[in-house]
């Protein structure tokens, strides 16, 4: 299976589902995504005045969590206007404008200088870019030496009976429920296909190494429903 990740297509798909994105994440993950997100942010060890980049920030879920850590400043970048508009509404509620910046841009060619950020995070984003290797090199470029990046992404459980049960839920229930609630069946079929089609953890780790990162942690979460990678720029 080859999934079409044409940036125009992906951008307009996220523009369409932006209004129901957060609600659907909570429903489809039964609220568990909050735990995954909190774990990911903790793994970054954000402290002091760190400058943190949330790549493919979407509605700003990770950026807002990072913002709660110490006195850091957070930049969120995404190419979907509507996702960013939702993030902007949430940003206004936090009342921390001086610490949180949103930018429209492409994760593959980011408008930042080399070695700008102390920390970076990408959650449920790397699967969506058209070239994961190019993305990793770009993230490496904008991170400071010794800087850390956390990558949270869906994967597929490998052990039965959980594997079969999950595959049933993931390939039948999610596209149906997601389609009904968002009104966009194609987007939730894309979610299913893009996860099934995505690079498996061992291979992604090798790509991370080739991009110049040391993989300091690579761990399946909830029997492999998601996978957390913590990387350091050597
Ligand atoms: C599944 S959402 C994840 C959003 C958020 N990180 C989260 O954890 O909820 C994927 C996001 O990646 C963004 N995206 C995909 N490819 C991108 C690219 N090349 N540059 C910037 N944003 C991208 C989409 O617009 C979308 O907002």
Question: Tens digit of pLDDT for each residue in 18-35?
Answer: 999 999 999 999 999 999
Supply the pLDDT for residue 93.
85
Cα torsion angle, 89, 90, 96, 99, sign: negative
| CATH code for the domain in which residue 42 is found | 3.40.50.150
Q: Is the CB of 178 under 6 A from ligand 1?
A: no
Check if 58 has its Cβ closer than 6 Å to any atom of ligand 1. Answer: yes
Judge whether 93 lies within some domain.
yes
Mutate to test the pocket of ligand 1, among 128, 149, 190, 194 (most ligand atoms within 8 A of CB): 128
Q: Whose CA is nearest to atom 4 of ligand 1?
A: 58
CB proximity list for 102: less than 8 A, separation 6 or greater: 57, 60, 75, 76, 77, 78, 84, 87, 88, 91
Give me the DSSP letters along 97-124. GGGEEEEE-BTTB-SS-TT-EEEEEEES
Ligand 1 atom with minimal separation from the 107 CA: 20
Q: From the CB of 121, is ligand 1 less than 6 Å away?
A: no
Residue 159 lies in a domain: no
In a domain, 173, yes or no: no
Give the nearest ligand 1 atom to 108 CA: 19
Is any ligand 1 atom within 6 A of the Cβ of residue 82? Answer: no
If DSSP codes are grouped into helix, strand and coil, which group holds residue 213? strand
Atom nearest to 60 CA in ligand 1: 5
Q: Is 14 in the pocket of ligand 1 (CB under 6 A)?
A: yes
Residue 10, ligand 1, Cβ within 6 A: yes
pLDDT given at position 1: 62
Domain extent, residue 109, equals 7-11+30-154+199-233
Q: Is residue 214 part of a domain?
A: yes
Decide if 211 is inside a domain.
yes
Q: Give domain status of residue 161, yes or no.
A: no
Q: Which residues of the chain have pLDDT under 50?
A: none
55: closest CA among 103, 7, 6, 97? 103
Report CA(80)–ligand 1 centroid distance (Å).
8
| Ligand 1 and 83: CB distance under 6 A | yes
pLDDT digits (tens, 9 = 90+) for 138-176: 999 999 999 999 999 999 998 888 899 999 998 999 999
Residue owning the nearest CA to atom 8 of ligand 1: 123
Atom of ligand 1 minimally distant from the CA of 122: 6
Indicate whether 102 belongs to any domain.
yes
Q: Evaluate whether residue 21 is within a structural domain.
A: no
pLDDT of residue 216: 98
Count of structural domains within the chain: 1
């Amino acid at each position: 299976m080859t999934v079409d990740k044409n940036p125009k297509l992906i951008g307009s798909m996220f523009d369409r589902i932006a209004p129901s994105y957060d609600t659907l994440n909570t429903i489809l993950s039964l609220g568990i995504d909050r735990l995954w997100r909190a774990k990911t942010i903790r793994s970054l060890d954000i402290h002091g005045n760190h400058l943190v980049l949330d790549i493919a920030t979407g509605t700003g879920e990770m950026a807002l969590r990072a913002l709660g850590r110490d006195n850091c400043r957070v930049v969120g970048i995404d190419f979907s206007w509507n996702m960013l508009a939702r993030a902007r509404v949430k940003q206004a509620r936090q009342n921390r404008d001086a610490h949180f910046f949103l930018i429209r841009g492409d994760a593959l060619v980011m408008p930042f200088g080399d070695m700008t950020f102390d920390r970076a995070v990408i959650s449920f984003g790397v699967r969506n870019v058209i070239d994961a290797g190019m993305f990793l090199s770009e993230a490496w470029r904008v991170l400071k030496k010794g800087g850390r990046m956390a990558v949270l992404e869906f994967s597929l459980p490998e052990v039965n009976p959980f594997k079969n049960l999950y595959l049933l839920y993931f390939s039948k229930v999610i596209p149906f429920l997601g389609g009904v609630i968002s009104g966009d069946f194609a987007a939730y079929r894309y979610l299913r296909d893009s996860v099934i089609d995505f690079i498996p953890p061992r291979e992604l780790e090798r790509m991370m190494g080739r991009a110049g990162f040391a993989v300091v942690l690579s761990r399946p979460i909830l029997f492999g429903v998601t996978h957390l990678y913590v990387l350091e720029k050597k």
